[in-house]
Each structure stands twice: as structure tokens, then as C-alpha cells.
Structure 1
Amino acid sequence: MSQPQPARVAFDDVIIDVAGQRLWRGGARQPLEPKAFAVLVLLACSPGRVFGRDEILDAVWGHRHVTPGVLNRVVTLLRHALGEDAQAPRYLRTVHGVGYRFELPVVAETPPGASTEAPAPEAPAPDAAIAPAAHPLRRSSDAAPPPRKFPHAALWLLPLLAVLALAGWKLWPRHPATAAEAVPASEQRSIAVLPLVNASGDAAQQFFSDGISENLIDALSRFEGLKVIGRASSFRFRDGKDESKAIGARLGVAYLVSGSVQRAGDTVRIGVELVSTADGRTVWTEHYDRPYQDLFALQDDIARAIAAALQAKLLRTPGATKQDNRPPGGNMDAYNAYLQGLRNFYVGDYRKAIELQQKATQIEPDYAAAWAQLSTAWVLLGQYMGDDEKAQRAYAEARKATDVALRLAPDLGLAHGARGNLLLAADFDWRGSIDEFRRGAALAPENGQIRGGLSRALAASGHLHEAIEQRERFLSNEPLFAGNHFLYAYLLIASGRLDAAESSIRFGHELQPRPGVPFELMYVAILRGDANAAQDVAARQSPPWRELNLAVAAQIGPDRAAADAALATALKDEIWSKTTPYLIAQAYALRGDADKTVEWLERTWSRHDTNLHHLLYDPLILRFRNDPRLASFCAKVGLPPPTASEALSIDQIIAAANAGKR
């Protein structure tokens, strides 16, 4: 009978946390891909025993389509992680002609004098596309806003386009069995690319391994019939301990891609494997070891190999063209600057992102993708300026960058998405933004974030049904992106589906917890006519927003004197009129005061406040959809008439709910 594995193996300055699947050396965590860690545990938990090569391959990979070179690479990774000299190894020894043996100076579950706890892991790198700062939906952005004094906003808040970096590799000669033989065509073809482990030992190289992971996501998305999960959802499993079956269930996919990346001087080493989530078996695996300068030439082959294993074919969508985020001149310094710019963009450091994208365009002036990403970073920075003059200067820079991107690459979907964001945020050009997002989606149908932008633009023009359709398509590829669920909830609310909206809000909050209760639930309670629940949610918000939310919630309560007093108190603080006029317009809409509602909408317009985008799918404002004052205002700002909006008003939602109770 085999002996049970210890929870931990420790020797010298090394701790193998078997239960936690982590390796520590000298107090620092050593990143290892899952299969490499499995080999380490197999050998280290049976010190002194010689394992044959085939025995290791059977135990860890099930010997499925694995070339002998894969084990050689894993041993090299393990020796590097253990600080070994390959010419004179202390622990992992080669038994020539047979296999490997692990020798331990000490084997103990808890070594004498050692702490019973493994060293605390380093803080994970923040990722804005997964976890935007503080309140992700309080500005028009899927990316994290930089710190600001008043990050709160009103009910209907929109995201801006986040962009992905691309990179890739070509295959070494593989096992004679073809990849296409690996998976029956009848099996579901859905896949998630987990963030590849940065095995370089240098945390500053994280952007590089992330860029490779994103490239695989983008490249695989171009294959017909292959559902590919987006970055925000798949990157939630960075350094996670979840089993492949559990990850597959969370993401709704049949296969996972995982592995590691190591850049050493002029060489890039990548190990990738394709795993079935049904049973954890390795379907396909390969090792790439190539000159760094060959990076771009190797890009498509790795994606084709994975797709071949799933018997997928390249999309032949009419109007679509190949999208390329690499510098046309192949300059690696420009590409590195681009990837680093994306890394800073995702964590909300837009100024640094701008600096790095500018560097990329200076190195390669014809780098269209960098110009497009530069434009998007300028737009986001402009939105968070708080000063309209500064914002306009930022938008002017964004306009120049977008013009260059489209001149260089008129068929780049990313560039059309960037212009769509610019037209919506800076120009309030509702029709133009829809056209640009549609063009971007036609050119790059696999890009879910362009569809997210199209959903925003459609909703802003009152086209609620198609906005929901586009958001649901984005959700299918980003099921664990919290912002997606909040934005979807707003659309559901506008269609009167309050129970589904509440579920979406709570799931978004579960994915990205915030202090207290999600403030969006206050609006669900208001639309249900539940004054007590609305007050309860408002009272559990953080100051200074608690007071203003209480004033809004009070407007549906039975005590009119209290409602008047709460609003009067809130209006005494000029910060609200200067920073959140749209929220005050909503409060007056709840009071049934059309004059005051339009007056505060005018203030919103004068501040160039993008919360105005929500007007035509805001049930509170739409209670005046037949009022000529609101129609006149919509005409002034270029919006369709409110009567054309497909969204419901608060009165229609409450009436429908009451009818359903009878």
C-alpha cells in the first residue's frame, strides 16, 4: 500500500507545500507550472527511489502525446527553481539510462525549529480588468480608475474599452500522433487560457508572460466553433489552487491551457499543455525553446496546434480581417513597451500607460495597435481629470492618436473601438460611436470588449434590446468579470427584470466584494417601491455618499417632510452639485418634478458629464418620456426622442409588478 503524501516537505532553505501546491526557496516563492510541481512532489515524496522516465510520464501526464523533451524541460525548470547546478545537482539527480532520483538531506513534515506556516505569498499583481478599483462601475470604464477624492457616481455607469496584448510561438517537432487525433470532434470545443506562469524569477517580467497568455486568447478566438474565455475571467485563476474540473465548471469550458514562460537573455522557453476539465487528463503538451527575436514568426503556430487538437478551423466571417497587435517592423523593444503599457492600463495607471505607448510609437511610428491603445488611455485619463479644460486636452491627444491608428491600419478593429470610445466619451456622438463599434465588431468579431462598447453605445441611444444581446455575447466570453454583471444588471433593470438584475448584482459583488452592500441594490428596491429596503441599503453605504444616497432613497418614502429635509441637507454641500448633478436629477425625478429634473440634466450637460449617457435607459428619468421638456433637452444634446427608447420607466415597472400580483 502506498504511503500518504506529507502536507509539506522541507530541507535546507526549501519548503515544498504539497497541500498548497507551492514551492518556496530562501523565503521566496518559486513559480512552477502544475505538471512540473507534480513531478517534484512525485520524486520528493519518495526520496532515494529511482523513477524511470516512462514511469514519471505515466504518473503525471498519463503518457498522452508527450514528447521525451517535455520531461527534460521540466527537470531543467525544477533545478532552476531549487537553485541547483545542473552539472553537480544536490537534490534532483539523473540516473543515466533509467530516469531520476531525488535525494533529501532532511525529510520532515515540519522540520525542527521551522515555522508550521509556509512563507506568506507575495501580493498578487493587481489586474484592473478583473478587479477595478473600489467601485468599478462608478465611471465609464472597465479598467480601474486612478485614486480620486469622490469616486462615486449615479445609477447608470458605463465601461470603456480595455485592450489586449498579443504574442506567440512556433512549435518544435511534436509526437508523431497528430494533434487532430487527440480529441473527438463530437466533444464540446470550449477553452480557457489560464495566465502562464512567469518562470523567469523576475517579477518585472510578469507583463511578458501575461502578454503571451493574452496572445493565445486572441489567436484562439479566431477559430470557428471554438468558445474562448476572455482575459478578465481566465486571469482570476492566476496562481490558484483550483483543480481543472472546478475551473472548468466555473468558466463553462471543456479544456484549459496552462504552462510557463521563461525569458533568459536572447532565449524564450515556453511550456504549454492542453488539459481536459472532465478528468484532468493531458490532451496535448509541447515545449518551445526559441530565440527571442523569433517571437513573432512563432505566433500563429502554437494557436494552430491547440486548435488542431480540438479540430477547430479558422473563422471565415464575411468582412473580418486578421487583426495584429504586433509592431509591423518586428521591433521587440516597441513590443515590450506596448505590453508594459497594457499592464499599467489594466491597473489604472493611465499616465504610465500613455508614457509607454508613446515610447512604443516613437520606436515604431507605424505601430497602429499602440496608437489605438494610446488613444484609449488618453480617453480614460480625460474622464477622470475632473477639470473639463484638462479633459478636453486629453481628448485632443486621443483624437490625434486615433487618427494615426486608422490611417495606418483602416481595418484594425481595435482602432475603430478606440474611436467609438472617443466619440461616445468626448463628443457625445451617439450615432457615430455606434457606427465605429459596429465596424470594429465586423472586423474583429472575436473581440468581446468591442461588443461591450457597442452595447454601451446602443443603450445610450435607447436601443435596449440589442444592447442586451451584445452584452450577453460579451458575458458568454467573460462569465467571471464582475463589471460585466453589474452592467448587465443595469440593462435588465431598464427592461423591468428586477429579480434577474438583483441576481446579477449579487453575483458581481461576490466576484468583486466591496465594503457594505452594493449601492445598485438601492435602485432595485426603489423600482420595487420598497422604501424600507432602499433606506437600508443607503444607510449601509460609506460616507460621504451615505448622506446623498439616503436623500435619494427618502424620496419614495411616506414621510414627505423627511424627504424634503434630506434633499435640502444634501444640496447644502456644493460638492454634490459640482460632481454628481445627474444623481440630483434622479432625486428630482423620483419627486415627480420635471422642471428640476431637466434643470439638473442641463447642469450635467454643461459639465460634459458622461453620466448623461444613461438617460435613455434610466427608468427614473424616463418617467418624463412624454414630457416635451425632456424631449427638447434630448434634441438639444443629439439624443433620439425619449419616446423612442425601448427601456421602461419606473412607473411602467411598478405597474407591471402590481399587475403580476393580482
Structure 2
Amino acid sequence: MTSNPRDQTLRIGAWELIPARGLLRRNGEETRLEPRHADLLIFLAEHPGEVVSTEEILSRVWSGTLVGDHSLYQAIAKLRKALGDDSAQKRYIETVPKRGYRLLAEVVKTAEIDGDREPTPPRSPTPWTASPRHLLPLAAALLVVILALSFWHFLPQAPDEATPAIRPRLLVLPFASLSDKAADHFIAEGFSIELAHLLGVSHQLQVLGPVSAKLAAESALDVTEVGQRLDADFVVTGSLRRAADLLRISATITDTASGSQRWSQIFERHDGDIFGLQAEVARQIAEALQANLQGRPTPPASAASGDAKAAYGYFLLGQSHRRNRSAASLTLARDAFEQALQLDPGLVSAKRELAATQLLLSFYDNLGFREALEQAEPLLEQALRATPDDPELLGTIGLSHYLKGSYGLAEEYLRRAITADPSYSEGWMWLGLAERQQGRLRDAIDAFRQARALEPLMVSTSVNLANALSWSGEPQAGRKLLEELVQTIRDAPQAYRVLSGIALESGDLVAAYRWAQTALSIDPEDSVSKGSMALVLAYLDQYQAVRELLTSNREQPTHGRAVQLYLDRMSLMIGSVPIEDVADRYESRLIASPRVQEIEWRLANARLGLADAFAGDLDSARDRLARSLEGRVHPIERTDYDLFVCTTLVDVQTRLGAHDAARQWLRRCQGDFEAARQYGWDSLAMRYVRARLARLGGDSTQALEHLRIAVAHGFRNGKLLAADPVFEPLRQTAAFQDIQTRIQDLVRKDWEETKNPLACQQPNGASCDPAENDPGAPQPQASSAEPSQTDPHKNPADLP
């Protein structure tokens, strides 16, 4: 048996580490390390001279604890201080940018120590029947126990030595319906979704999400291949048959490594009660394994009334529809949950899911956000009184706070949710959005990666991660992630739109045009896809086509929140509507209801203030921009965009002669810029803001150099540069004009290439020619439109 590293003294460079006591010793000098910091140093010492990634360290040293990169950074800093490491020339711990950390010092293991600590007995395996952290409806809790017990019966047990637990990855494929009724197909799928959620509550299992499971089931691969593609250790399959009063459910567990079936069972009920069948399954499996059900009583077979049985069927039907984030499927889900609650007003899970559906409809459809809140919040309050520890309920409450702009409160609820259910993929994704909205991009990337590991085929998880990677200075990584996704899922316009946005930020206008056209070819009437294409055409100086696209958008009825956010940015980006129209739209929103959220008020002031600043209305711009920024705790929209707002206010104050106020705001902008870099932001907008900061600080040479760097990294928004009042003092200089000419030449070259059919090889075979894919689409034409009122906002809103 290998010796436990904690039983050995380690000599690390000039230091002696006694792991059992967390003690560093050198020439009579002693330093006591915090337990976590000692674990970190031990782990690095196990890999001397090797680069160890952040993910590996967090997985090993912080195993089971939800933290972000910032905790690791602080621990590394404290270790360096304890070791006396030289900040100028590292002798112990080296940071390898974008890769991880490396222990530089030589490591020597000395003899085992016999007096430093009491012997620790080997850790016993923890059975999966450990008490759950929260209460669930009785039948649901039993179902978690029975399948968890089944897996525990044949999975390898933990070794005696204290090694990090590896949670098996489980995929629950949609159950097949063997009934004649079409609705039973959705009920069977909903049953599998509930089963996956219930299994995910176990901290010993990592359960992949239902969206990826559904897409995998629709492929032509067999069960073993599906599991291997999604890196699942076990796959659960099953079927459901209803005929008159007979309900039969079969379930099978397959080991993907060997392809063998590890467990299979058929269960029947003659009263058609799908909810009651869960209790019967629990009893039979528990009896077969002689398991301890923690003293929980099982409900009698007749526990559910006829209405309750039917209500649960509608609930499962809604669950199936809710996972598809389209307006049509969410509407079907809402109808099913409402029907369930009419039959059984006490069905708490239906209240939770109906609330979540209302919130998502406000984003993906034309349901007003305030109306959605009015419908969702009473349901959430009722559900919270009944099941205060339900992870999905906590997550939905977190989503409501995120959409309201209460990001800190959203994070608190979402952390509670994923702590209770580490396999809750939506919770991880929404947590990432809440962290990103607080400016912590590195933490957000970690959460998005967790969400994508659980839902590798869900478009919104990949889209959010790809965007975050792009904003952190890794656009190619985000682009590669989505390019791989669209090889599998080819009818996802949001993935193509984000690919277009990432290509746009990288300066690849040809690829940006190609991806935007692919999105538009999937649904030529999709408003957001039209906005995406309009944005690319604006960069390519094709303003006639831009105006036609946006005019068709404005003629449509009220849009959902996702579309409206995009159109708001577009209207400022290219000056497609008069500033009076922009003001009327925002001001009408602010007075439409007494329940306006503060984040909406700040966003309206920021957008209107930017429009005023570019139009030359300095007094209005100063008032609006100051209102948007003063007293702000979290970013208004996005950290790098807020810096554009902040530097615009500095310029407005300067032009108004308020130099003291301008200096105060400039210091704040500079501090916010440095904080953003520490939190991981390295977007193209950040590079442009850096040039603005240099110019506002009086260093024109540095401002021009930063502009050149921004162009080298993909900045192509020549209209913004031409209209930006911050650079007015530089506009007549040869260096500035050279930068403008360089951008114009690059844009002209890219536009010519977009018209070359050989340049457009799309993964779904669609043509890049708008007329070929959509005869009604406007033809791109060269335009000599004057510079626009512009805004650096490019990407559509993140997808919840």
C-alpha cells in the first residue's frame, strides 16, 4: 500500500513541510499554514516541475466545495508569501499563463513521522443511502433511493486510502412510449426528466441533463455509443405503456464500458397511477437489496386520487415541453402545468415549473416581464413554504432575481441549489450568468463549464461558455466550441448568431457574415437573426440593407426580452432610428408600471445617455450617464460595456468644462478597468476602452498605439471610430487617419470576399447569398450613409 503523503515530511527547496501539522520549517523558523493551503502545497509537491491546471487543482484540493478561481489565486499568493518567494524572480511557484501553476523547487520525501499526529482510521465507504440534505415529496425521495441503491450494489466501493471521490456519470435517456396516445410520448419523456432530476440530488452521482439526453436519443447511435460520446459511465433506458387502467414501466441500466446490462426490472400498476408506481418501484428494489430506507414510510397504493393521478400526468407532459427553449414549446408547457394545478392545486412541483416557464416566456416570447413576475412570484412563495429546500425551486427563485437585476441575491439562491443538487445543470448556468453580471468572468466561466459538462448538447450552455471565453481573450476557444456543436445540432440559430458575434469580435467579417446568414437561413423571419445580420452588414458599410432589415423588425409586434435587448443595441449601434424615437421607447418603459426594476432604469439612462453624447446634447448626456452609474453595485449590462459608458461620461464632463468632475470619474473608470482585468475580462471592447482611457488621460501617443493594437486584434467598427467624440482631438492627425484607412481597407477586402461563392462553405449546405436563402431578404448594397450614433454592444443577450 502506498504511504499517505500526510505521513511523510517533504523537503521543498529550503523548507521542510510537515503535512500532518501543516507546518513549514526552515533554520528554526516555523510557519503554520491553513489546512487548505497545506493541501495545495502537498498537491503541487506531488507534481514537481509539472504544469498543473486550475481545474485539476480545484478538483483535487477543493473537492466537493463550490469555489471559483479567485480562491485559488488567494491561496497561491499566501503560499508564496509563506515560502518567501521573490515576486521578481519566482523560486517556488510559477504561474504559467492560461495553463496553470508549476512548483519550481526540488521536492525530497524524508522518512515517515511517528509522533506528529494520531493515526487516522481509514475512511469507510459512504453508501448512497446517506440521509438527503433536503426533503422531497415522499415518492420522489424513495425513487432517488432505489436507483441509487441499485448502482451502489454493483459499483466499485471507495478504497481505504483517502482519495478524491469520482462520481459516476449517468445518462437517463427519454423513456419510450409504447402506447397509442400521442400525449403518452411526452409523459414518458417527462418521467425520464423527473427521474434524472431525482437521481441528480445524490452527491455520489453526476447526472447529465435532459436536453442532451433527448438529442442523444434522437441520434442513430446505440446506447453504448451514446454513452461513450457523452462520456457517461451508465445509461438508463426504459419504456412506458398505458392501456386502459394498466400502467407498465420497464427500466434498464447499461454499463457503457462493457455494453452489458447491470440491472433491469418491469413494474406494473392496474390503476394507471404513475405517481404511485414510484412508491412500488421503491419498495421492490429496497426489498431486493434489503436496503435501509431511513425509516421513511411508503404511501399506500391508493394514496393518490383520480385527479391527482391525472395532474401528475399533465406535470410530466409540461416537463417534456419546458426543456425546449422556444416560444411554442414553453407555451405548451405553461398550458400543461396550469392544467395540472387545476386538477391538483397542491402539486408543488407544478407551481415551481409554471413559475419557471412564465419567467422564460418573458425572455423567449412576448410575455411582458412585469406580467411574468406578477404570475410567477406568488407561485414561488407558495412552493417555498411547502418545500423550502427543493434545489430546482431555489434555482428558479435565483433566476427570477437574476432577471430582476438582483445578482447577488440570485447567486445566493443558486449556490444553495447546486450545493443541494450538484447535477442541476440549469442552476450552474444561471449561477454563471449571475457571476458574470457581477463582473466575475473567471468564476462565470467555471460555472458555465460545469453546466456544459452536465448538458454537453444544450445550446444555451455552450453559447454562454463560448461568449465568456471570447470576452476573456480566448475567442478562438469559444469559436471552436460552437463549431463542434453545430456539427451535431445544425438547426440552432442562436449558436450561429454567437459564432457570428465571436467572429466579428475577432475581426473575421467574412466568417461573421457567413454565420449570420446561416442563422437567418434556418428561420428567415427570426428577429434576432435579422439583427445579427444587420450588425455584420453595418460593419461591412452596407447601410441600406441594414435599414431594411431593422425596418422589418420594427414593424413586427412586441418582441420578447431577448429580441428587445438586441434591437435596443442595434438602434444605437447604427443610428437606424431618430434619437427621439429611442427616448420615447425608453421613457415609456419607465412609466409603464410602478414595479420597474432598478436595473431597467439604469439601462435606460445608460442607453439614452450614450445616444445624447454622440448627438451632442451634452447636458442631457451628463445627467443620464451619471444617473446610470452613481450608486451602482453591479454592472448595468456588461463590465466592458459599462467602461464605455463611464469613459463617455468623462468625455462629456470634460467638454462641458467640469474638469474636477471629469478627473474624479476618470479615476473611477481607471480603477474599474483594472478590476475588470483582474476578474478576467480581455474583450475587444476592453482594448478600445483602454485607448479611450489613454486619450482622456492626456496621452495621445498611447491612445493611438492602443487603437492600433485593437485593430490588430480585430477591431473593425470604423463608424464608431469616426463618430467617437473622445478621439476628436486626434481626428486630423496622420496616425489616426492611417488607422481609419487600415480599417476601411480591411472592411472593403472582406466585403469583396463575402460576395465570392467559394468563400461560403457552410456546415448545413446553405448559401451565403441572402437572396438565394430568402428571396425577401434585402440585398446588401454599398452605401455612403453618414457616421452613426454608435455603441460597442454587439452580442445578443445571454440565454437563460
* TM-score (normalised: structure 1): 0.58
Aligned equivalents of 2:425 and 2:553: distance in 1?
Answer: 40
**In structure 1, what residue type is equivalent to 2:178?**
A
Q: Which structure 2 residues correspond to residues 100-249 of structure 1 after superposition, within 5 A?
A: 182-185=154-157, 189-238=168-217, 240-249=219-228
* TM-aligned CA deviation for residue 181 of structure 1: 5.7
Aligned equivalents of 1:303 and 1:629: distance in 2?
Answer: 69
Aligned equivalents of 1:263 and 1:574: distance in 2?
Answer: 46
CA RMSD of aligned residues (A): 5.0
Number of the residue aligned with 2:448: 471
Are 2:325 and 1:353 aligned? no
Aligned equivalents of 1:423 and 1:630: distance in 2?
Answer: 34
Alignment equivalent of 2:384, drawn from 385, 406, 411: 406
Instruction: Report if the CA contact (8 A) 1:191-1:253 is conserved.
Output: yes
Instruction: Report if the CA contact (8 A) 1:248-1:256 is conserved.
Output: yes
Are 2:649 and 1:628 aligned? yes
Alignment equivalent of 1:650, drawn from 665, 684, 689: 684
* TM-aligned CA deviation for residue 555 of structure 1: 4.9
Once the two structures are superposed, residues 416-465 of structure 1 have per-residue CA deviations (whole angstroms, 9 ceiling, x without a partner) of 2222233333x333333333323333444432212222222222332222
**In structure 2, what residue type is equivalent to 1:380?**
L
Instruction: Report if the CA contact (8 A) 2:208-2:423 is conserved.
Output: no
Instruction: Report if the CA contact (8 A) 2:439-2:639 is conserved.
Output: no
SS of the residue 1:257 aligns to: strand
Number of the residue aligned with 1:366: 346
SS of the residue 1:480 aligns to: coil
Number of the residue aligned with 1:525: 503
Once the two structures are superposed, residues 29-87 of structure 1 have per-residue CA deviations (whole angstroms, 9 ceiling, x without a partner) of xxxxxxxxxxxxxxxxxxxxxxxxxxxxxxxxxxxxxxxxxxxxxxxxxxxxxxxxxxx
Instruction: Report if the CA contact (8 A) 2:479-2:502 is conserved.
Output: yes
Alignment equivalent of 1:451, drawn from 416, 428, 441: 428
Instruction: Report if the CA contact (8 A) 2:183-2:317 is conserved.
Output: no
Q: Which structure 2 residues correspond to residues 256-405 of structure 1 after superposition, within 5 A?
A: 256-292=235-271, 293=273, 294-298=276-280, 300=282, 331-346=308-323, 348-384=328-364, 386=366, 388=368, 391-405=369-383
* TM-aligned CA deviation for residue 575 of structure 1: 0.8
**Alignment: residue pair count:** 466
SS of the residue 1:295 aligns to: helix
Aligned equivalents of 1:329 and 1:437: distance in 2?
Answer: 32
**In structure 2, what residue type is equivalent to 1:208?**
I
Are 2:231 and 1:252 aligned? yes
Structure 1 residues 571, 169: CA separation in 2 closer, same or farther (over 3 Å shift)? Answer: closer
Instruction: Report if the CA contact (8 A) 2:506-2:713 is conserved.
Output: no
**In structure 2, what residue type is equivalent to 1:650?**
L
* TM-aligned CA deviation for residue 180 of structure 1: 5.2
Once the two structures are superposed, residues 567-595 of structure 1 have per-residue CA deviations (whole angstroms, 9 ceiling, x without a partner) of 666666671898666446645887899x9
**In structure 1, what residue type is equivalent to 2:356?**
T
Higher helix content, 1 or 2: 2
Percent identity among equivalent residues? 20
* TM-aligned CA deviation for residue 184 of structure 1: 3.4
Are 2:527 and 1:552 aligned? no
Alignment equivalent of 2:397, drawn from 419, 426, 435: 419
SS of the residue 2:447 aligns to: helix
Instruction: Report if the CA contact (8 A) 1:232-1:480 is conserved.
Output: yes
Aligned equivalents of 1:351 and 1:586: distance in 2?
Answer: 27
Please, which runs of 5 or more residues in structure 1 have no aligned partner? 1-165, 316-326, 636-640
* TM-score (normalised: structure 2): 0.49
Instruction: Report if the CA contact (8 A) 1:224-1:314 is conserved.
Output: no
* TM-aligned CA deviation for residue 221 of structure 1: 1.7
Instruction: Report if the CA contact (8 A) 1:200-1:261 is conserved.
Output: yes
**In structure 2, what residue type is equivalent to 1:396?**
E
Per mean C-alpha deviation after superposition, the further-off stretch among 510-519 and 366-375 is: 510-519
* TM-aligned CA deviation for residue 244 of structure 1: 3.3
Aligned equivalents of 2:580 and 2:482: distance in 1?
Answer: 27
Instruction: Report if the CA contact (8 A) 1:168-1:302 is conserved.
Output: no
Structure 1 residues 603, 591: CA separation in 2 closer, same or farther (over 3 Å shift)? Answer: same
Aligned equivalents of 2:176 and 2:503: distance in 1?
Answer: 44
Structure 1 residues 630, 328: CA separation in 2 closer, same or farther (over 3 Å shift)? Answer: farther
* TM-aligned CA deviation for residue 399 of structure 1: 1.8
Please, which runs of 5 or more residues in structure 2 have no aligned partner? 1-138, 159-165, 295-301, 604-633, 654-664, 666-670, 689-705, 715-800
SS of the residue 2:345 aligns to: coil
* TM-aligned CA deviation for residue 402 of structure 1: 1.6
Once the two structures are superposed, residues 215-259 of structure 1 have per-residue CA deviations (whole angstroms, 9 ceiling, x without a partner) of 331232233332221111122233654233311221101221223
Structure 1 residues 480, 568: CA separation in 2 closer, same or farther (over 3 Å shift)? Answer: closer
Once the two structures are superposed, residues 72-125 of structure 1 have per-residue CA deviations (whole angstroms, 9 ceiling, x without a partner) of xxxxxxxxxxxxxxxxxxxxxxxxxxxxxxxxxxxxxxxxxxxxxxxxxxxxxx
Higher relative contact order structure (alpha carbons within 8 Å, sequence separation ≥ 6): 1
* TM-aligned CA deviation for residue 302 of structure 1: 7.7
**In structure 1, what residue type is equivalent to 2:343?**
I
SS of the residue 1:519 aligns to: helix
Aligned equivalents of 1:215 and 1:581: distance in 2?
Answer: 33
Once the two structures are superposed, residues 275-322 of structure 1 have per-residue CA deviations (whole angstroms, 9 ceiling, x without a partner) of 22122122222232345543242354688799x89x9x999xxxxxxx
* TM-aligned CA deviation for residue 489 of structure 1: 1.0
